[in-house]
Amino acid sequence: MKVAMWHGAGKFVIEEKPDPSPGPGQVVIKVDTVGVCGTDVHITQGLFPATAPSVLGHEFSGTIAATGKGVGRRRVGEQVVCDITSHCGKCANCREWTISRCENSQRSSGALAEFSVVPAQSAHRLPEGLDLETAALTEPASCCLSGSEMWPMPKDAVVLVIGGGIMGQFTVAFLKRRGAKTVILSEPVASRRELGRQMGADVLNDPRAEDLGEVVMRETNGRGVHIAAEVVGKTELVGRCIELTRPRGNVLMIGVCPQKSILPTDMYDFHYREIGLRGAFGRGNCFKRTLHVLPELNLNGVISARYPLERTYDAIYDSGQGRGVKLVVKPNGI
């Protein structure tokens, strides 16, 4: 099979590897669609820990091509979307934190390849009404669904989402579905702002043309928002969320900041106004539930471009440049 092997920085080489065989409790997936994640971009930029050489890609769907011992052969041919890891449900992390941080998890192999090996538990059959391309959005959507549920939604809440990439779009949708009265989306790219309207945003802000603080104060009678979500991964924008949150309001970090980042905020002001700050890293316990939420969303136009496996780096580079909303790679052909 062909794989897009990452060799550090922006270097990807298409290599031939033996077709994989499933071990006990595993399945082999013929990969259909792989979403380019901001984490993939950050890995190539040296901003997220990863070791080369390796095969990247963790947002993916496909068809089960083979099953290992203990997995029924009737699953061959099943269309599935794949979680990154399995879970035991018994360890301290599963019981006290989240199944996505299972201490005994098995990890799916990288998806930027024609085939991937996945724990059978992590290959979820697609529900009716969900196609393979859209299903590949399950992983980022589940991260946002998990994050959106971390703070209670006050009555008549005004919420702010900074960042209109795919994670920002899902955050807009899920906060609106939870009952936010007004959702403000701040995003410099016009096409992303317009998609935000489709996903449920009520107020669109171009931060290059209009000061976000003025927009927030206008929409909240000078009080600040109830919930502010940073969905880019920049510490200065987390600080901006804190500034624009009302007393006893809450800030949600969905964007992944680089390791050893320092939060630039006035800690006295943060303390005085009794602001809540919560990290929301990953899928939580929401992956399987997200599968049944996706068909209810208007996702027309969310996937902006499709790339063959040979253009993996182009897909990652273009994503980092903000070209489109969600870019995907099709390892077995477009």
Q: Do domains 2-137+302-330 and 143-279 have the same CATH topology?
A: no
Whether 6 has a pLDDT exceeding 90, the answer reads: yes
Q: Which amino acid is at 187?
A: E
- Give the pTM: 0.93
Residue 171 CB coordination number (10 Å)? 34
- Report, as an integer, the average pLDDT of 306-315: 97
Q: Is 39 among the catalytic positions?
A: yes
pLDDT tens-digit map of 77-111: 999 999 999 999 999 999 999 999 999 999 999 99
3-class DSSP state for residue 116? Answer: strand
pLDDT in tens, 227-274: 999 999 999 999 999 999 999 999 999 999 988 999 999 999 999 999
CATH topology of domain 2-137+302-330: Quinone Oxidoreductase; Chain A, domain 1 (3.90.180)
Catalytic residue check, 265: no
Is residue 167 a contact partner of residue 322, using CB atoms and an 8 Å limit? Answer: no
Name, in order, each residue with C-beta under 8 angstroms of 10's C-beta and a sequence gap of 6 or more: 44, 313, 316, 317
φ and ψ at 188, to 5 degrees? Answer: -75, -20
Give, for 41, the enclosing helix (H) or strand (E). helix 38-44
What per-residue confidence (pLDDT) applies to 322? 86
- Host H or E run for residue 29: strand 26-35
Q: Which listed CATH number (3.30.540.10, 3.30.70.360, 3.20.20.140, 3.40.50.720) goes with 143-279?
A: 3.40.50.720
b/e code 86-95 from CB counts within 10 Å (16+ = b)? bbeeebebbe
How many Å apart are CA 47 and CA 226, to the nearest integer?
31
| Confidence band for 129, pLDDT divided at 50, 70 and 90 | confident
Domain spans in the chain, listed from the N-terminal domain onward = 2-137+302-330, 143-279
> Following CA atoms 193, 195, 63, 308 in sequence, which dihedral angle do they give, to the nearest 10 degrees?
-60
Listed in sequence order, the residues at least 6 apart from 148 whose beta carbon sits closer than 8 Å to its beta carbon are 171, 174, 175, 178, 229, 252
Cα–Cα distance for residue pair 234/45, rounded to 1 Å: 14
The whole-chain average pLDDT of the chain stands at 96
Pick the catalytic residue from 39, 63, 98, 182. Answer: 39
User: Could you say which of 33, 42, 67, 245 is catalytic?
Assistant: 42
* Residue 259 DSSP label: T
Tell me the torsion sign for CA atoms 33, 39, 45, 49: negative
* Sequence-distant (≥ 6) Cβ neighbours of residue 226 within 8 angstroms: 153, 154, 157, 158, 159, 245, 246, 249, 250
